[in-house]
Structure 1
Amino acid sequence: MRSAGFTLIELVITMVVLAILALGITSYIGLGARMYSDAAEREQVLGQSRFVAERMVRELRNAVPNSVVFSSTSNCLQFRPILYSGIYTNAPFEQNGTSMTVISPDLRAVSPRTYAAASRPQLTVYPTSAANPGGTVQLNSISTLDSATARFTLNFDSFRFTRQSPEQRFYIADAIVQYCLVGASSGRFNITRNSVLMAEGLRESQVFRVTDAVLTRNSVVNIFLQFGYGGNADMFFNYEVHIPNVP
């Protein structure tokens, strides 16, 4: 009686079929892994771009009017954020004075307050451009006249404002914020905020463009982000930010 078994040809055919199946399974798994990696990288780029863009847009919309300026030399966008704002009722324009009477509900949460010399914010009236910020003086302290009607006194060193605001508006501004585009490895660029890294992997060096205010509209800032993605494809994000505040 002859025992059953595989012939050499059957073994070879079986091994070839198994090799083809293994190759197909490996390719399928590899494709799935690449798709997952690709999706994860895309999600990371989306998250990074969304974070830096929303941060810039939010801060720019809270910028002191006409304080936004772009320097092509340093490749930096800079502006002054608004801490508090309101309407003044009495201010020194004709001659020097040391105080201003204002109405501002925002100040209820901070008055009375005295600022240290090293951290005094700027008080400004009618800033018409970054190069001509209007009357600007360091604020020494805030005192309350009548909290119920939101009337306060802003105190500063002897000073005279040069121009009246048509809407009698004043702004208390924080320190300058700078978003800069800096070179990195492999021809890419990074975005920093006051030297702190905010985004990396940008391909395009022309990120910021500022259009100054005219009689019919306020300042406009265009932000163009082009992120290198996967080595073969880029992701583009284009934002147009209208500065709503007026002097």
Structure 2
Amino acid sequence: MHNAKGFTLVELVTVIIILGILVVGISSFVIFGTRIFMDSSAVDRIIGSSRFVLARMTRELQNAVPGSVRLADNGSVQCLEFLPVSLAGSYLSLPQAPDNSSNTMRVFTPPTSLQNGMQLLVYPLSNADVYAATNGKRFDIKSFSTTGAVTEIVFNSTVSFAEASPGKRWYAAEQPVSYCFFASGQIRRYDNYGYAATQPLPPATTGVLMAEDLSNDFATELPLALAPASLTNNAIVQLHPRFSILGESFTYQHQVQVFNVP
């Protein structure tokens, strides 16, 4: 008789059971580790995007034209609108009511060049001074010419500014900007949509997605609040957006002051 070598059925079944247990244990460990990585990545994404949008809003708001910050909501979206300053400086002379109107004014040459089509503002105190079509505070720049330290600005038509600035300040800007917070959870930034006397909610352009997973209850907890400028204080925007991810939430408490004065 020949000697037969191999495994018995009991041994094979035992090995299969042991291997099955090992595979289940290893796969559970891999799945658990993958889930932790994915959850951490999702949390990092929300924290990163929320910090980015708040930092960018802060930087832009601090350089807004005085009187341009306004806030509105309709229950499903809350929008903060303002006019970023492109250039600013001091003027030498300007046509002012009730004196004769003119299509030119003279300013000290700014550090960077003006651009045709910019809007020039003098002594804006309120939203109407900035956004209304006829306000005596904002006029279109047609062209300009520089001679040394003095620049002559030419307007599209003869103009007469309603008031002079006590500090002889002027501001040049291009287009308003809006940050809109949606009850659906998104934060979007809008620009290049023009001036409107009534604040658009949201502007009729395609906004850029800045952050997601906003979870404020718009009925009781709006993400933004505005303390308008007064004779003694600059405008202050209070931001307290709340974000939720994976059953957890965190709320920012942040204030931004508009530094520019008329």
The normalised TM-score by structure 1 is 0.81
1:86 is displaced (CA, Å) by 0.3
Q: Determine the C-alpha separation between the residues in 2 that align with 1:19 and 1:43.
A: 36
Q: Is the 8 A contact 1:101 1:153 kept in 2?
A: yes
Question: Structure 1 106/15 Cα, relative in aligned 2: closer, same or farther at 3 Å?
Answer: same
Question: Who is 2:118 aligned against?
Answer: 121
Measured against aligned partners, the alpha-carbon deviations of 1:96-149 in whole angstroms (never above 9, x if no partner) come to 121111114334x34xx5x3xxxx222111111113346221111121132xx3
Q: Determine the C-alpha separation between the residues in 2 that align with 1:41 and 1:17.
A: 36
Q: Is the 8 A contact 2:120 2:173 kept in 1?
A: yes
SS of the equivalent of 1:34 reads helix
From 220, 224, 237, the counterpart of 1:221: 237
Question: Who is 1:209 aligned against?
Answer: 225
From 248, 252, 259, the counterpart of 1:233: 248
Counterpart amino acid of residue 124 in structure 1: L
Question: Who is 2:163 aligned against?
Answer: 163
Q: Determine the C-alpha separation between the residues in 2 that align with 1:238 and 1:104.
A: 40
Q: Is the 8 A contact 1:85 1:104 kept in 2?
A: no
Question: Who is 2:143 aligned against?
Answer: 141
Taking every aligned residue pair, what percent have the same amino acid on both sides? 32
1:11 is displaced (CA, Å) by 6.7
Q: Determine the C-alpha separation between the residues in 1 that align with 2:172 and 2:4.
A: 102
1:15 is displaced (CA, Å) by 5.4
Q: Determine the C-alpha separation between the residues in 2 that align with 1:18 and 1:63.
A: 67
1:50 is displaced (CA, Å) by 2.7
Measured against aligned partners, the alpha-carbon deviations of 1:24-76 in whole angstroms (never above 9, x if no partner) come to 32222122111110111122112222332222222112210120000123621
1:3 is displaced (CA, Å) by 8.4
Q: Determine the C-alpha separation between the residues in 2 that align with 1:36 and 1:143.
A: 59
Greater fraction strand: 1
Q: 5 Å matches for 1:66-145?
A: 66-73=67-74, 75-93=78-96, 94-95=98-99, 96-107=101-112, 109-110=113-114, 115=116, 120-133=117-130, 135-145=137-147
| Gapped regions of structure 1 (runs ≥ 5) | none
Q: Is the 8 A contact 1:85 1:106 kept in 2?
A: no
SS of the equivalent of 2:106 reads strand
Q: Is the 8 A contact 1:226 1:236 kept in 2?
A: yes
Question: Who is 2:63 aligned against?
Answer: 62
Cα RMSD between the aligned structures? 2.5
Q: Is the 8 A contact 2:91 2:169 kept in 1?
A: yes
Q: Determine the C-alpha separation between the residues in 1 that align with 2:103 and 2:6.
A: 111
